[in-house]
Structure 1
């Protein structure tokens, strides 16, 4: 057989492991290599080559590499608890800027506990013990789970198309993790465990600097928003995928959909009430990452403001781009429309100040084809009972509105902050939820393929990391637009689109990962979704559609 690695053709015997074939290349890598990509599919370094193909090594500067690093680190922490506090019920809660927030539900997290677990983690890493994937048939797995009485990986039994049940073993410890794992415990040696808010944080490097831990930054408002939603769904007893699937199977999901939607309405009403209490506020600024549901949120918030006697008026930042000849370019020589300098800040602030002072303005319309502002006689004046609502990626950044007095501004951060676990060790990420929303919306409303959306996603994420996330803690309010049931609805829209992406595309591994994750969900029909739901922004049929 022949393998292509970095444009070189290598003759390989059938059954050769990647770790053996590229041992020297792996050892020479500047950053740790944790996996490989074989014919565009992420594989373990223990993968046995059985066909011709192309191999790429995955190190920690790659997003797949960092995912594998995180899984390995959490696996080791689970093993450390098993060896020090065997009865501890460990749960991986949220991801908070290069850290995972974890809790022990049946024990108090103390300084002594953290020190003892940390010492054990270091011992396990130093041993560099092998992590081995073991496959069982469903019949073998059923006997195993009956004997072991454990929930680790049990959800796999409910996936009809899944023929084998996987567990990862290291010495006498086992657990299930969704996705490829490191082949040994020695990889994840850069980390920190911190006692935090009655729980603990597991900190890890970023793919931008995988050889060191980043500066620790608290996300108090984000954490409070996540905790709030987590507690509600724990009260409703629907915070894990197993419990959600059980509710769907028992045909009780309609009540939970209405409860989840009522929670959204309640939170929007609270934000509107808070805006009204601040009598000097005349501008509401809304920002959030892609596919957060900003458009529907702004319209539903507008309804709540009207109930409070305020009439919302919208103004679009997109009409205030600088002239194309003045637009900055990125490192690749392309126009950067997402940087703050792409906005005509002076004109934008001048117009808002005039509106706040009761003056009339002529609103420009930006002609994207010719790259210039056009004036068509559209005028605007703000009455005493009106309030400006502005949505845009820079709205939390005070540099967008430097001339507007702080007391006249109210900032809202919105994102789909997922609070659903696949199980107690496998969290569904906020980014994955937004990506699946985007795939469905791009296809429903723009006729884009899932492949097109996946190709653009890294660029979208870079813009968010630069322009949105650094300012999220500046918000006066945070709104969590996630719905506990949404992936069960999006599943039937997204899976056929993801299935079309084959191994010839570099995006295949990401498509396969998302496809497999959605396969764990029991389907919920789209017609169950209320017409005013934020979810309708992505699947269609919204009452707010023009």
Structure 2
């Protein structure tokens, strides 16, 4: 039993109890225990809350050390690496600004604003300065201060986006970090020092910089480079519109949401912009007279179903008769579903679909024959005849929506000119501040938590527990094909996190501290608490957000 001068910790990694003097840091404990399952420690969970390794123990705790091979550890690595890049920019270009815009499949896409054109020489200088900072093994020094003092500090360093964020956050104290005297603020822990950043890259991409990141399954190797030009074009277009209305960060959104009239206006304008883009896609389909099959793909909770319904309405307005065929009805019988590496059914695999049956039906329909569509019974796991017979004419366009819509294997026997491919994703373009982007996967996870509870009776804990396998399936079966799309549609609404907040927070608070999912729920709660709520009473009944929050006039 621990004395009044010590505390007892339980190390989850080694399943050992250990008495430590009060004030002992996690890093000191890690060096004593040396858990064999971690080669390079990034952070730790204390009672299932992620923290940095300088955290000091003053009472009994459960402690789990985390390396780079988990999502939380890689987020810590990414934040620390970006801080080094930001410091390099400040060292070489005082007054310059680096913006961490979004995460791509290869790393963080950043925009550099230094008043001159980005050249290879500038990139080489930044690489050299980053190497110097890393070689010096500077510590990331954590500072806790009154928020008013932190705001003044960031004002002095011209971090205006952080000033706006912290001013709205209303917390008494704020924790920030110093790197060789340069302050910065992140909504998660950093590594102990720059010397831990051994694998990274910096190169030109599009009209910005790509900060290359390690692979989560093999941190000694960089993520492979995957071109995502179409995705970046959509993000760039959205950000240009955001500049016009003056909302690039959560701090700016919070300022606007304080005024009810402005909040209603941003909802109306955001919805109108989406409808305009859907109408344009319908017009493009009409102008390609050879198109008979519209394939809509996208990751989980991207809003594919509502998009397909709204596109159908716009197609009717263009004089086209849309007919929806559900890809989910073409699942193979459950016992024929392929297994994943853990021996579990892999429902995310394209081979969980009866591809031959689907191709046979599509060919028959385009040849003018009548087809009886299948119906998959999810209770019995069997594909059954539906009794629904379909025959189409030259004015009919088939709409198929599903995660595998862009996979060439699915429709390889259909001529390319007959297909129009749409990729739908919630590309969150608003940022917490210029150095903290909001992962698109967080936006989709919050959507799914709200929807699963409302319509499927799943708790937030259950939804979070499945999320890592969902992401793994997307990276394997969806992301590699997204650039195959004829067009990308961004389903994220500028105001939606402020709308989701009210429904998501109570669900996240229900996740018990003892659950492994508590750390992720806590991270999402902390993130949502930066955002002021917005009422969605005036949200249109056909809004894409209604698919998740309820009140839609569409039938799902």
SS of match in other structure, 2:387:
strand
* Residue of structure 2 equivalent to 1:388: 398
1:383 shift after superposition:
2.1
* Residue of structure 2 equivalent to 1:110: 119
* Residue of structure 2 equivalent to 1:430: 440
* Residue of structure 2 equivalent to 1:222: 231
* Residue of structure 1 equivalent to 2:320: 310
TM-superposition CA deviations, 1:140-166 (whole Å, max 9, x none): 345545665542632223223x22112
1:245 shift after superposition:
1.0
* Residue of structure 2 equivalent to 1:85: 93
* Residue of structure 1 equivalent to 2:420: 410
TM-superposition CA deviations, 1:261-296 (whole Å, max 9, x none): 111111111111111111111010111001111111
TM-score when normalising by structure 1: 0.96
SS of match in other structure, 1:297:
helix
* Residue of structure 1 equivalent to 2:26: 18
- Structure 1 stretch 294-303 or stretch 310-319: which is displaced more? 310-319
Residue 502 of structure 1: which of 505, 509, 512 is its match?
512
Map 1:460-499 → 2, pairs under 5 A: 460-499=470-509
* Residue of structure 2 equivalent to 1:48: 56
Q: Does residue 232 of structure 1 match 2:232?
A: no
* Residue of structure 2 equivalent to 1:2: 8
- CA distance in 2 between counterparts of 1:454 and 1:219 reads 27
- CA distance in 2 between counterparts of 1:270 and 1:29 reads 52
SS of match in other structure, 2:160:
coil
- CA distance in 1 between counterparts of 2:84 and 2:413 reads 51
Residue pair 2:93, 2:114 contacting (<8 A) in 1 also = no
* Ranges in structure 2 where 5+ consecutive residues have no aligned partner: 1-6
Q: Which runs of 4+ in 1 moved over 3 A?
A: 24-31, 138-150
Residue 216 of structure 2: which of 197, 200, 207 is its match?
207
TM-superposition CA deviations, 1:298-354 (whole Å, max 9, x none): 000001111111111011122222223322222222222221222111111111111
Q: Does residue 190 of structure 1 match 2:199?
A: yes
TM-superposition CA deviations, 1:17-37 (whole Å, max 9, x none): 111112155596664211111
SS of match in other structure, 1:528:
coil
Residue 108 of structure 2: which of 97, 100, 109 is its match?
100
* Residue of structure 2 equivalent to 1:527: 537
1:53 shift after superposition:
2.2
CA RMSD after TM alignment? 1.7
**Aligned pairs, how many?**
545
Map 1:339-418 → 2, pairs under 5 A: 339-418=349-428
Residue pair 1:153, 1:166 contacting (<8 A) in 2 also = no
Residue pair 1:31, 1:211 contacting (<8 A) in 2 also = no
SS of match in other structure, 1:194:
strand
SS of match in other structure, 2:408:
coil
Residue pair 1:157, 1:165 contacting (<8 A) in 2 also = no
TM-score when normalising by structure 2: 0.95
Q: Does residue 38 of structure 1 match 2:13?
A: no
Residue 319 of structure 1: which of 329, 348, 354 is its match?
329
1:246 shift after superposition:
1.1
Residue pair 1:417, 1:480 contacting (<8 A) in 2 also = yes
- Structure 1 stretch 251-260 or stretch 306-315: which is displaced more? 251-260
Residue pair 1:225, 1:480 contacting (<8 A) in 2 also = yes
Residue pair 1:31, 1:61 contacting (<8 A) in 2 also = no
1:526 shift after superposition:
2.0
- CA distance in 2 between counterparts of 1:142 and 1:96 reads 31
- Structure 1 stretch 221-230 or stretch 409-418: which is displaced more? 221-230
- Structure 1 stretch 388-397 or stretch 25-34: which is displaced more? 25-34
- CA distance in 2 between counterparts of 1:85 and 1:117 reads 10
Label 1:311 to 1:535 Cα distance change in 2 as closer, same or farther (>3 A).
Answer: same
- CA distance in 2 between counterparts of 1:97 and 1:26 reads 32
- CA distance in 1 between counterparts of 2:151 and 2:416 reads 61
SS of match in other structure, 2:198:
coil
SS of match in other structure, 1:12:
strand
* Residue of structure 1 equivalent to 2:258: 249
Residue pair 2:168, 2:251 contacting (<8 A) in 1 also = no
* Ranges in structure 1 where 5+ consecutive residues have no aligned partner: none
1:528 shift after superposition:
2.8
